[in-house]
Amino acid sequence: MKTYDTKHLRNVCLVGHGGAGKTSLAETFLFNSGVTNRIGKITEGNTVSDFLPEEVKHKVSISTSLIPIEWQEVKINVLDTPGYLDFFGEVKSALRVAECGVLVLCGVAGLEVQAEITLNVMEHQKLPKVIFINKLDRKNANFSKVLEQLRDTYPLARFVPLQLPTGQEDSFLGVIDIVKNKHYDYEANGSGKFSVKEVSDEYQLEIDLLREQLAESVAEADDEVLTKYLEGERLTEEDLKTALQQALKQNLIIPVLCGSAYRNIGITNILDFLADFVPTPEIVPEKVALVFKTLADPYVGKMSFFRVYGGKFSAETLVYNSSRGVEEKIGQPFYLRGKTQEPVTSVSAGDIAVVAKLQEVRTGDTLCAKEHQIILQGIDFPIPTLSVAIQAKTKGDEDKLSSALARLSEEDPTIKISKNTETRELLLTGLGEMHLEIYLEKLTRKFGVAVSMKVPRVPYRETIRKAVKVEGKHKKQTGGHGQYGHVWINIEPSEGKDFEFAEAIFGGSVPKQYIPAVEKGIREAMAEGTMVGYPVTDIKVTLCDGSYHAVDSSEMAFKLAAIIAFRKGVELAKPTLLEPVVEVEIKVPEIFMGDVIGDINGKRGKMLGMVADSENYQIIRAHVPQAEMMRYAIDLRSLTQGRGSFTMEFLQYEEVPGKLSESLVSQLKSAQGH
């Protein structure tokens, strides 16, 4: 592939609901531009874009693929993103580096949830966007209905059709280009070949009307065109093109195109559109690039995808990673198409390429020249909220697992790995069930570690509700030297303080040198409470009396005496179970508020309040026991069709209500095999 200068580059991101046809569209682009000689099929698992074994297996995209297409005089870097919500991190990073988002919709299903969420993100980012209504060959596909649905959902946005489909369902065979006023009549055999015809009388009236609407929508984007328009002159094809280009760039309109990726109808038209109208990359004078994606390959090593915003990045030169303050040498950059690499000598401003083995680089880092240090805005990734506890299936694979996790986590910033010291579990946190499952599949495939997962344990604790005074004696007479330790301790609740120790020994009944051993014994005993075996907390222990033996007493004997006293005391002091409570902040569209609040109440939550957020969203705050929130990522998604999001943070420990406590204790005991 030759090197293209900035003017001849387009960076485009395919986004939309799962299964809308993004990958199929990219595949047809490849065929029409002559890269492949047949169109790969999702069902056959042979597309260029979905090359990961997990993508082939599940028949969905899980990772953004880079698909450069050479069309007319330009190179279009197509980023094919996954539609499934669990992989939204991939969409976020791809949108960060594109000049235009192409929202692919299914002509039957129309505007589905994930498409809506993505459209909102693009709007928020002020990114120029285009709608491609796909699958018009399918039964019940309806271009006008989808357009109407878009207008109903976003009454303030200006959706402007640039095409009109001719024929429907099986007989859908072409599109009329409204700007050019030409009919593109495609062959039915999927070859993508077409003939250009004059618009027939049947359509002309409607096309004239749409052309007039188009002129009205775009004229204001260009002063000269606007003057002409206001003076009532008929706008030429050139006028419309100029104004359309500007209007897209200024985000004034959302052009709507249509076709069928599967039947290769209208695909040449969308390629023409992307080449002609998508804004050229914005660049800066300084040398700078953003790393927006990382792939961990067990053989090639780490691959960093970068988008150049200024200057040129050449092979074997030094770059400065301003996000981490280190200098590194770039080896051989290459273009990637699906999984195929093609080395290049240099990558120009506006272009996207990949480089392997940059040690320190992470997704979101800026690369620049040491003399001109800049840090570009990073990528706003979704926060992972669903955790599972994981374990290597094979004993002895623990080290292998942690090094594999460390390497693989570099490629997905929406995965978090942590260790819960209390439950001693290794936690994997991601965006949803499928995300976590596929992550573990990748771990096995790439690094050969098989992993099992389960719902994490809740780190309960135990405490007491009553003060007691108890005795503990450790006495042994075995042959010569005996053991003797004897204490009286006071145990009382001490809320909010993990542990307090005091001594009130009078007259040396427990000699000074043994007192630290008593405290040590109690600390040891606290690690395992008597109810289920969770750590004991919020207590104060006072050593108040005891006795000793001049020969037989030892630190060990006093420690053991303290442990005996403590265990006995806790049993008598009304032990109770404490559970962690989290503070939750949930953001949901207003219409789901009732359901979400009802659900939180059902989870023993305490509502703190709610405030209105932007665009009909509400933010609900509540305190909820953590045990009830372990699968909340899944619950909230089904309650809100994926539109809700939440964060949670540990707040405090609270007593498990009496009734629940009994059944919970027996349940937890049996789970521990007691």
Residue ranges in contact with ligand GTP by CB under 6 A: 16, 18-24, 42-43, 60-61, 82-84, 104, 134-135, 137-138, 260-262
Q: What is the smallest separation between the CB atom of 80 and Mg ion, expressed in angstroms?
A: 6
Taking the CB of residue 315, how many other CB atoms lie within 10 A of it?
A: 16
Q: In this structure, how many other beta carbons lie within 10 angstroms of the beta carbon of residue 529? A: 24
Q: Is residue 22 a contact residue for Mg ion (CB under 5 A)? A: yes
Give the nearer residue to ligand GTP in terms of CB position, either 264 or 483.
264
Distance set, CA 205 to CA 168, 181, 232, 233, 618 (Å): 19, 11, 19, 19, 46
- DSSP annotation string for 46-58: --SS--SHHHHHH
Smallest distance, Mg ion to C-beta of residue 414, A: 18
> Shortest Cβ distance from residue 42 to Mg ion (Å)?
7
Least distance between ligand GTP and beta carbon 65 (Å):
10
Pick what 381 binds: ligand GTP, Mg ion, none; C-beta below 5 to 8 Å, kind-dependent.
none
Give dist(CA 291, CA 323) in Å, integer.
11
Q: Toward ligand GTP, which CB reaches closer, 22 or 486? A: 22
Binding partner of 260, given ligand GTP, Mg ion, none, CB within 5-8 angstroms per partner class: ligand GTP
Query: What ranges in 528-631 are assigned the alpha helix state H?
Result: 555-572, 593-602
330 binds, among Mg ion, ligand GTP, none (CB under 5 to 8 A by kind): none
Cβ–Cβ < 8 Å for 105, 113 = no
- CA nearest 526: which of 488, 484, 475, 491? 491
Q: Would you say 20 or 405 has its CB closer to Mg ion? A: 20
The single-letter DSSP state of residue 81 is -
Q: Which residues contact 521 (CB under 8 A, 6 or more apart)?
A: 558, 559, 560, 561, 562, 563, 566
Q: Which of 11, 32, 33, 61 binds Mg ion (CB under 5 A)?
A: 61
Q: What, of ligand GTP, Mg ion, none, does residue 228 touch, CB below 5 to 8 Å by kind?
A: none
Looking at residue 286, its amino acid is E
Q: Which is nearer to ligand GTP, 15 or 539 (CB)?
A: 15
User: Which one of 23-31, 127-135, 168-176, 404-412 is the stretch in contact with Mg ion (CB under 5 A)?
Assistant: 23-31
Taking the alpha carbons at both ends of the chain, their separation in whole angstroms is 67
**Residues 237/225, Cβ–Cβ less than 8 Å:** no
In angstroms, what is the minimal distance from the CB of 103 to ligand GTP?
Answer: 11
Tell how far CA 577 is from the center of its chain. 35
List all residues 6 or more positions away from 460 whose beta carbon is below 8 Å from its beta carbon. Answer: 532, 534, 577, 578, 579, 580, 656, 668
- Shortest Å, Cβ 413 to ligand GTP: 20
Question: By CB under 5 A, which span of 60-68, 215-223, 270-278, 436-444 interacts with Mg ion?
Answer: 60-68
CA distance to 118, 134, 307, 321, per residue, from 103 (Å)? 8, 10, 21, 33
Task: Kindly tell me which of 22 and 587 has the beta carbon lying closer to Mg ion.
Answer: 22
Q: Which is nearer to ligand GTP, 105 or 656 (CB)?
A: 105
**Closest CB to ligand GTP among residues 131, 247:** 131
Amino acid present at 596: V
Residue 81 CB, nearest approach to ligand GTP (Å): 7
Considering the complex, what minimum distance in angstroms separates the CB of residue 404 from Mg ion?
26
Q: Which residues contact Mg ion by CB under 5 A?
A: 22-23, 61
